[in-house]
């Protein structure tokens, strides 16, 4: 992910799972075209082509849904539902258009991610997930 421009992408934990988006205050946008392209390019490095155990995937999906709910309740009613493909969780940011690149959106996304992921930012699994 870092080699594809996501420089603050987090290291995996002891279980090999990715959670959070790196250092507190990082500005990873899982809906950006750059993130989506990096995720696609790095798919081959995931064990078995999936993002982890069914339990960890369920947890990551629940967290991604919490981020979605948070964003919708804070003024972004069109924030997309997360999608699951080959065990990876991602957001389709194209439905938001250019609003996803605004400082206000990025700030709110960071706040929602911090709330859900315990102050470490957010990510998606394998895309990691959101």
Per-residue pLDDT of the chain (130 residues; tens, 9 = 90+): 888 888 877 776 665 566 554 444 456 777 777 877 887 788 777 655 445 666 777 788 888 899 899 999 999 998 988 887 766 777 776 667 778 888 898 889 889 888 887 754 444 433 333 3
Q: For the chain, what is the domain count? A: 1
Could you give phi then psi for residue 14, rounded to 5 degrees?
-60, -25
Determine, yes or no, domain membership for 5. Answer: no
- pTM of the predicted protein model: 0.56
For residues 102 and 119, give the distance between their C-alpha atoms in angstroms, rounded to a whole number. Answer: 21
Q: In the prediction, which pLDDT does 70 show?
A: 94
Domain with 83, as residue range(s), is 24-117
Radius of gyration of the chain (CA): 13
Angstrom distances, CA of residue 123 to CA of 22, 24, 74:
8, 12, 19
Q: In the prediction, which pLDDT does 47 show?
A: 54
Give which of 96, 105, 112, 76 is closest to 36, Cα–Cα: 96
Determine, yes or no, domain membership for 129. Answer: no
Determine, yes or no, domain membership for 111. Answer: yes
Determine, yes or no, domain membership for 53. Answer: yes
């Amino acid at each position: 992910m870092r080699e594809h421009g996501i420089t603050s992408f987090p290291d995996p934990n002891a279980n090999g799972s990715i959670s959070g988006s790196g250092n507190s205050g990082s500005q990873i946008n899982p809906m950006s075209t750059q993130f989506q392209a990096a995720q696609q390019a790095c798919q081959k490095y995931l064990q078995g082509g999936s993002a982890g155990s069914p339990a960890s995937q369920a947890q990551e999906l629940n967290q991604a849904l919490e981020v979605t709910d948070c964003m919708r309740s804070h003024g972004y009613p069109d924030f997309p539902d997360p999608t699951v493909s080959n065990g990876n969780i991602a957001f389709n940011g194209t439905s938001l258009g250019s609003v996803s690149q605004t400082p206000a959106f990025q700030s709110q996304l960071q706040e929602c991610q911090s709330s859900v992921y315990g102050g470490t930012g957010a990510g998606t699994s394998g895309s990691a997930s959101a």
